Structure 1
Amino acid sequence: MIELRDVSVRYGSTVAVEGIDLDLPTGKIYGLLGRNGSGKTSLLSALASFRRPSSGTVRVDGQDAFENPAVMRQTCFIRDTLDTNESDKVRALLRFAGWMRPNWDADYAAKLLDLFEINPRKRASSLSRGQKSAVGVVLGLAARAPLTILDETYLGMDAVARSAFYRELLGDYLAHPRTIILSTHLIEEVADLFERVIVIDHGRLLLHEETDELRGRGVTVTGPAAAVGEFVAGHTVLGEQTLGGVRAVTLDWRPDPADLARGESAGLNFGPVGIQDLFIHLTSRAQPLEATR
């Protein structure tokens, strides 16, 4: 179990993360979502023991994580920049990872290099941005660390390479279960990988839910403006659009069958809200909803 209790991260007078409480059962793929500047990387840095929280505690299996060699050996944190000496050759980076990571799989790393067409004899400084991202992916996946954190690692990769990465991540996770946390802006691309979704906004926890629960959380109601207005009264509105006499309202609500039947009899249509759309609606609010877990 990974436990965060009242974790805050501050940079001088700037508060990046404030008072976050999270319980993360191990052996799942988590999606960490948040807008730019929401505090995602600061939270992940504290979780990965790269940074001591300004206040609060991070524990892994009951042990304080910061500067704990036993915990840090089992944690792999790959950021969107390749944290290496760029004069090193790729094969040197892999060799160093093999020394540092007790679960390192050199054969799998070589397979991934072939998949992403990376020449191990090349210097990191000579790689394109997409190739550097691919090397980060190789380091993250082949480490097979019990806690693997990928913070926008693959943004420099093209669509074909990202698709290959998603396939490899899921396949290797099923073969070698571990805890994987993905921070991403490409929500629609990777949403099917998530077992749980965490959303933070302005440094605070907005929600932490099972993906299946989140998918069913919102509903879009469309129909004659007056009928829609009457139906949605009293419910939390996430967003709305009006065109002529037709109104579409997105709600943070899960209507039961009786509600749906009542709405359909009034000429209303109901549609699901995807994770990306729900994320946009939730984080576009002037005042965030109360955090849920």
Structure 2
Amino acid sequence: MTLGIDVQGLTVRFGDVTAVDDLSVRLAGGKIYGLLGRNGSGKTTLMSAIAAFLQADRGRVLVDGEQPYENPAVTEQICLVRDSGDLADQDSARAALKRAAKFRPNWDAEFAERLIELFRVPTRRGVARMSRGQRSALGVTVGLASRAPVTMLDESYFGMDAPSRYAFYDVLLEDYIEHPRTIVISTHLIEEVTRLFEEVVIIDQGRLVAHDETEALRMRGAAVTGAVSAVEAFTDGMTVLAERRLGGTKSVTVFGAMGAEQRARASEFDVELEPVALQDLFVHLTKEAPR
């Protein structure tokens, strides 16, 4: 079961701070989305509005065509796991899993046990006494084992060490293929998780900056690699996002799509063109995006 998300002119304010500003975006069901934004860009607020944790000041959110706010039939199909894991500190991991099973109609207890073992979560220890990495592992266990048609992970795995994070990426992709659903992942570890994303949503200061398929977004720029003099001549006059040099070889990341003419020139200059790294593009768009 997959559910689509339709955000229409959403505005959310906290006092005199506008966290989400007239944002509209439509996410088709059954895909893995990357939600990118700088600190304070409105990512958590957007996800919280979708999960009906808060009410919009203006606009609306629809999940499968219905508003989730104060709508239990919809909210039980949505699982948002934030960095804290949203787990009561007095609970042990085992108690937290039991509570999740009670409120999640698609809960898979066998899968939860497999994840607990994979991530080495101490099930009898109180959540308050766990390390940040253990709490993160417990949070993503709840998120994945809930098998909610809309699953949102808001930096929830950030505290895990590198081996655990990579194990998480692999198991998430495997389970998504077996049990398709709509998954939204908010992250700052962009290069680590780019391979998971089918589409990417970038927001800045509460507004939509970009929404496209991952590869289409990466084609908005290029990484140009070759001899130093050839690369510098080819990229002269282009918008440079980043550059690296090793001996006589140089790699320059530029912003701007490469059409047939530019590719023919690249061949003449004997330089290689590859899609831009998503992280470099993100940095550029959130620095230069119109306010």
Output the TM-score relative to the length of structure 2: 0.89
Residue 97 (structure 2) aligns with: 94
Distance 1:215 1:95, change over 3 A: same
> For residues 222 and 96 of structure 2, what CA distance do their matches in structure 1 show?
48
The equivalent position to 2:236 in structure 1, one of 218, 229, 235, is: 229
The Cα offsets for residues 141-172 of structure 1, whole Å up to 9 and x where unpaired, read as: 00000000000001110001101111110111
The Cα offsets for residues 218-264 of structure 1, whole Å up to 9 and x where unpaired, read as: 1245746565335x4xxxx3636699xx9976443222233221344
Distance 1:266 1:90, change over 3 A: closer
How far has the Cα of 1:9 moved from its partner?
1.1
Distance 1:89 1:208, change over 3 A: same
Structure 2: unaligned runs, 5 residues or longer = none
Distance 1:11 1:106, change over 3 A: same
Structure 1: unaligned runs, 5 residues or longer = none
How far has the Cα of 1:120 moved from its partner?
1.6
Residue 7 (structure 1) aligns with: 10
The equivalent position to 2:47 in structure 1, one of 40, 44, 49, is: 44
- State how many pairs are aligned: 281
Residue 282 (structure 2) aligns with: 279
Amino acid at match of 1:239: L
3-state SS in 1 of match to 2:235: helix
The equivalent position to 2:150 in structure 1, one of 147, 150, 161, is: 147
Is 1:282–1:289's contact at 8 Å kept on the other side of the alignment?
A: no
> For residues 249 and 239 of structure 1, what CA distance do their matches in structure 2 show?
8
1:116 paired with 2:119, answer yes
Larger deviation, residues 63-72 vs 81-90: 81-90
Residue 73 (structure 1) aligns with: 76
How far has the Cα of 1:270 moved from its partner?
3.5
Amino acid at match of 1:138: T
> For residues 242 and 23 of structure 1, what CA distance do their matches in structure 2 show?
37
% identical equivalent positions: 48
1:29 paired with 2:32, answer yes
> For residues 257 and 181 of structure 2, what CA distance do their matches in structure 1 show?
32
1:258-273 equivalent positions in 2, closer than 5 A:
258-265=261-268, 270-273=273-276
Amino acid at match of 1:256: G
Output the TM-score relative to the length of structure 1: 0.89
1:214-225 equivalent positions in 2, closer than 5 A:
214-221=217-224, 223=230, 225=232
> For residues 137 and 83 of structure 1, what CA distance do their matches in structure 2 show?
11
How far has the Cα of 1:271 moved from its partner?
4.0
> For residues 267 and 82 of structure 1, what CA distance do their matches in structure 2 show?
50
1:176-187 equivalent positions in 2, closer than 5 A:
176-187=179-190
